[in-house]
Structure 1
Amino acid sequence: MKIFKRVVLLLIAIVLVAVFYNYPKLNILAGYAAKSTGSSVFLAKRNLQFTDSTDTNFSPINLASNSVNTETKEASSSAFGLLTRKSVYREGLGSVLVVKGTEIDSNPLTPKRATPDTTTPFPYGNLDPKDSIFSEINYDKLNKTVASMFNDTFKTRAFLVVYKDKIVAEQYAEGFDKNSLLLGWSMTKSITSTVMGILQCDGKLNVYDKAPFEEWKDDERSQISIHNLLQMNSGLKWVEDYNSISDVTKMLFLAEDVTQLQIDKPLIGKPNETWNYSSGTTNVLSAIIRKQFDTHQQYLDFWYEELIDKIGMNSMVVETDMKGNYIGSSYAWATARDWAKFGLLYLKNGQWNGESLFDKDWVDYATTPTPTSDGWYGAQIWLNAGGRYPDVPKNMYSFNGYQGQNVFVFPDQDMVIVRLGLTKNADVNHFLSEILNSFK
C-alpha cells in the first residue's frame, strides 16, 4: 500500500510539474481558440461547428474546447479544463481577446462607416461585375489552374483573378462565397502601411522623421526612423514564432495593448542594417498613426474614411485590442473581392475612380527593397525583386499573410490575383506562372 501511495504521489507531482511548465502554453492555446472562434462566429457569421472543423481544427489549437454565447456575443475556449479564455465581439471593432485582470469597455468608440455602393459594378462598387470575354485568355487553362488550388492539401477558400478591372476567374470552397469574410492575417500590415502612405502624401507626416516615442529619446533607439519601422529594419529585438511562447504570441494573445511590447524592446542591431520580420513593429506603426490625431475617434475613422470605405472595401473590418488600437499587424477581415480592390488600388498607383489616395511615389517607395532583406521586402509589402519566384516577373509584389493569404499585384500584366486559404502548402511560383501562361 505504501508503494502504491508513493506511486500515486509521484504521478500527481509529475502532473503538477507538467501543468506548471505548460500553463503559459495553455494560455496561448486557449487564447488563440477563443479569439478565432469569436471572430469566425460573430464577425464572419460562421457557426461554431463549422469553425471547429476548419479555423481551429489544427494542432494544438484543436485541443481546446470552444463554446459561444449568442446573447452576449462571447466565445470561450478551455484548455483541458485547466484554463479558460474569453473573447467579446463588439460591432465595428470585431472580436477582442479579454486579458486577465482587465475590464472591457462596454460602450467603446466605434468607427463611422460609409454606406456601400450597391448600384455600381465591381471594382468601383459592390454590384456583380459585367461579363467580359478577352480573346487573349485561354479560359480552359486558366480555370483548370484555379480549380487545382482547391484540394485537401492546399485548403484554398477563395481564388480570384482580376484582369483589366474585370474578374476573369473566381472560385470558392464549399461553405464560402463572394460574401464570405476571410481573415487576411499579415496582409493587414499592408493596410497599415497604406494608411501611413496616405498621411505621407497628405503632408501630415514624414516617414523619414525619427519615431516619436518618449521611451526612445534618451538612448540609441532615438535614431530609429519611421522609415526603418516601415521596412522592418529598425534593429529592435523581436522573435516572430507562432509555434512557441514568443514575442508575437505574447502580443496577440496576452497583451492588453499590442503597441507596447515592441516599444519596450532593446536595440540589438543597427537601424537600416538589420532586417527582421516583426508584427510588433507594425503595431508600433499603428501607435504612430494614432499620434497624428487629436482624438481617438479621428484615428478610428481615418482608416475607413480615407482608405477602406473610400475604395469600396465595405466588408472590411480591422479589429482592435482592448485599448482601442487597430491590430494593424494581423486582424483585417474582408471578402475576396474587397481584398482584390486593395490590390487594384496599388495597380492604379493610388488613383481610384477619379480620386487620388496616394501617388506613384508612394508605390515606388513601398516596393523598394529593404536593405538586407535579399530583395524580399519593401514597406510592409513582399517583393519578388530578388527572384524568389523565378518564373514570375520580378516587379510583381504582394500582400501576404499567415496560412497562405495573398494578394499578388502584376503591374505589367494589369492583373491582381487573390488566394485565401488555410495552408501555405501551395507552390506559389507554379500556380502564378501557370496563370500567367493562360494569357497570350
Structure 2
Amino acid sequence: MLKTILPLLFATLFSCSSDSTTEVTDEQMYFPPNDGNATWATKSVSELGWNQEAVLPLLEYLEEKNTKSFIVLVDGKIVLENYFNGHTANSLWYWASAGKTLTATVTGIAQDEGLLNINNKVSDYLGTGWTSAPITKENLITVKHLLSMSSGLNDALGDDVSPANLKYVADAGTRWAYHNVYVKLQDVVAQTSGQTWSNYFNTKLRDKIGMTGGNWVNLNNLSVYRSTSRNMARFGLLILNQGKWNGNTIINENYISHATSTSQEINKAYGFLWWLNGKSSYHLPQTQFEFNGTLIPNAPSDMFAALGKNDQKIYVVPSKKMVIIRMGEVANPDNPTFALSGFDNELWQKINALYQ
C-alpha cells in the first residue's frame, strides 16, 4: 500500500488556495543539510498554487505501476514524497542506467582537477589493448566518445566489457549506440586519480552533498549504484543547480551545461550520459533507427533525464526549478525497456495535471 512519511501529503490534499498560477516562485534554492538524518524543508501544493485534486490520482497511478518511491522537489524543497509496496525512506534501491550520470559527473570532476581531458583518447589513460579493435581504430576513441555513446564499438555483444568483447564496428564519432563500455570511464578515473573508483566518487561527490549510505555494487559484472530515494534527489538537485551545492562548486557549470546538451549530431537527444527532451529526433538503445519528434512529448521541452532499466528516473526541469525521482520495478511488465519507456509519457501526463 501507498505510504507517505510526511504530513505534507495531508496538507496538499486538504488545504485550499485561490491562486491557480503554474509559475514557480523566484525563491532562493534550498539545499538540505548534509546530515542524512536532518529534516528536509517542504513546500505544499497549495503554496505553489497547484491542483490539489490531481495529487491522489497521480499517487494511485504510481502505486499501480509498481513504484517504490516518488519525490518532487521545487526550489530544492520537497513537495511530494511517497513510498509504496513496503519501500521506506531508508530502503536502498538500484539506479540501473540512471547511475550513468553519476559516472559522467565524476568524470567531469576529474577533468576539473586536471587528472584527465575528455578530448584525449582513452588509451592515453588505460594503455593500448583495452579493446580488441585494430590499434588505429582504438586510438580514435576519446573519453568524450564514451560519454556520448559514440565509441563505434559493437553494442550487440552483451554487458561484458573485457577487451575481447569490445569489437570495432565503426569509427568513433560516426555511430551512436547505447553500450556499457561507458564503465571504462570509471577505470580512467581510478587510473588517473590513483584511487579506487568508489573512494574517489565518495570523496569528490557523495560526501560533499550528503548522499550518505549509498554504495556501488557489482551486478552482472557491471558497477551499479544503490541508494535511498532522497540521495537520488540530492544528486538531481546538484545538477539542477549547475554543479553548485549550497554555495560550493562541486563541478564546474560549463561541464554540466555540455553534459546536458546534445553531445553529437547522430542522437540529438543525448548528452554526456543524460537524455534530453525537446529535440527534433532521437535514437533508442539496441536500434540504429532515428525517431522523429521529441523524446517525451508530455514533458517540458527543457527537461533532461537520467533513465534506467525498469523505470528508474531522475527528471530535471530547469524552467520550473523542479527535480522528480521515481524508483521501482518496471512499470509495464509486458514491455520492459532499457531506458525510455511509454511510462515516461504517461507519467508526465499525470504530473502535468498538478500544475496545468
Q: TM-score higher than 0.5 here?
A: yes
Change (3 A) 1:166 1:321: closer
Which residue of 258, 271, 275 maps to 2:172?
Answer: 271
Contact between 1:398 and 1:408, CA under 8 Å: does it hold in 2?
A: yes
Change (3 A) 1:416 1:223: same
Which residue of 127, 137, 142 maps to 1:220?
Answer: 137
Instruction: Report matched runs for 1:220-239 at 5 Å.
Output: 220-239=137-156
The corresponding residue for 2:115 is 204
Local SS of the residue matching 1:427: helix
Change (3 A) 1:413 1:282: same
The corresponding residue for 2:204 is 306
Aligned counterparts of 2:80 and 2:320: Cα–Cα separation in 1:
15
What is the CA deviation profile of residues 240-283 of structure 1, one whole-angstrom value per residue up to 9, with x for unaligned ones? xxxxxx521xx3xxxxxxx524x75232112111000011x122
Contact between 2:31 and 2:76, CA under 8 Å: does it hold in 1?
A: no
Change (3 A) 1:122 1:269: same
Displacement of 1:320? 4.6
Contact between 1:275 and 1:370, CA under 8 Å: does it hold in 2?
A: no
Pairing 1:147–2:93 present: no
Contact between 1:375 and 1:384, CA under 8 Å: does it hold in 2?
A: no
Which residue of 214, 235, 239 maps to 1:316?
Answer: 214
The corresponding residue for 1:288 is 188
Displacement of 1:301? 1.5
Pairing 1:438–2:345 present: no
The corresponding residue for 2:336 is none
Displacement of 1:155? 0.8
Contact between 2:34 and 2:208, CA under 8 Å: does it hold in 1?
A: no
Aligned counterparts of 1:121 and 1:342: Cα–Cα separation in 2:
11
Contact between 1:260 and 1:284, CA under 8 Å: does it hold in 2?
A: no
Instruction: Report matched runs for 1:151-190 at 5 Å.
Output: 151=64, 154-190=65-101
Instruction: Report matched runs for 1:255-404 at 5 Å.
Output: 259-261=161-163, 265-279=166-180, 281-296=181-196, 299-320=197-218, 327-328=222-223, 331-386=224-279, 387-404=294-311
RCO higher in structure (CA 8 A, sep ≥6): 2
Change (3 A) 1:194 1:436: same
Contact between 1:158 and 1:336, CA under 8 Å: does it hold in 2?
A: yes
Displacement of 1:395? 1.7
Q: Structure 2: where are the runs of 5+ without partners? A: 1-29, 280-293, 333-341
Change (3 A) 1:268 1:312: same
What is the CA deviation profile of residues 342-373 of structure 1, one whole-angstrom value per residue up to 9, with x for unaligned ones? 11110000000121011221111111224354
RMSD: 2.4
Aligned counterparts of 1:276 and 1:123: Cα–Cα separation in 2:
39
Aligned counterparts of 2:111 and 2:56: Cα–Cα separation in 1:
40
What is the CA deviation profile of residues 282-318 of structure 1, one whole-angstrom value per residue up to 9, with x for unaligned ones? 221111112112354xx43110011012111112111
Local SS of the residue matching 2:297: coil
Aligned counterparts of 2:186 and 2:252: Cα–Cα separation in 1:
21
* TM-score, normalising length: structure 2: 0.76
Bigger Cα displacement from structure 2, 350-359 vs 264-273:
264-273
Change (3 A) 1:204 1:183: same
Contact between 1:369 and 1:385, CA under 8 Å: does it hold in 2?
A: no
The corresponding residue for 1:408 is 315
Contact between 1:274 and 1:372, CA under 8 Å: does it hold in 2?
A: no
What is the CA deviation profile of residues 145-201 of structure 1, one whole-angstrom value per residue up to 9, with x for unaligned ones? 1332111xx211111111111111111113111111011111121111111011122
Change (3 A) 1:164 1:222: same
Local SS of the residue matching 2:192: coil
Contact between 1:383 and 1:396, CA under 8 Å: does it hold in 2?
A: yes
Aligned residue pairs, count: 295
The corresponding residue for 1:101 is none
Detail structure 1 runs of 4+ shifted over 6 Å in the superposition.
Answer: none
* TM-score, normalising length: structure 1: 0.63
The corresponding residue for 2:330 is 423
Aligned counterparts of 1:295 and 1:313: Cα–Cα separation in 2:
20
Contact between 1:123 and 1:165, CA under 8 Å: does it hold in 2?
A: no
Local SS of the residue matching 2:63: coil
Aligned counterparts of 1:388 and 1:131: Cα–Cα separation in 2:
30
What is the CA deviation profile of residues 360-409 of structure 1, one whole-angstrom value per residue up to 9, with x for unaligned ones? 21111111224354322111111113211112222211111111000100
Contact between 1:187 and 1:405, CA under 8 Å: does it hold in 2?
A: yes
Larger Rg: 1
Local SS of the residue matching 2:68: strand
